[in-house]
Structure 1
Amino acid sequence: MSSITRRQFGGVLAAGCAGLLLGAREGRAATTHQIEIKSFHFKPERLVIKAGDTVEWVNHDIAPHTATADDKSWDTKTLRKNKSGSITFADAGTQTYYCKFHRKMVGEIIIE
Structure 2
Amino acid sequence: MEINKGIKNNLKQLVIELINGNFSKLVSTGQAGRLTEEEIRTALYECNGELTPPPEEAYDTIEIYSVENGTNPAWAVDFDLWINNERSDLTLSCTVIQDDKGEFQISIDDLHVL
Structures share fold, TM-score greater than 0.5: no
TM-score (norm 1): 0.25
TM-score (norm 2): 0.25
Q: Higher helix fraction: Structure 1 or Structure 2?
A: 2
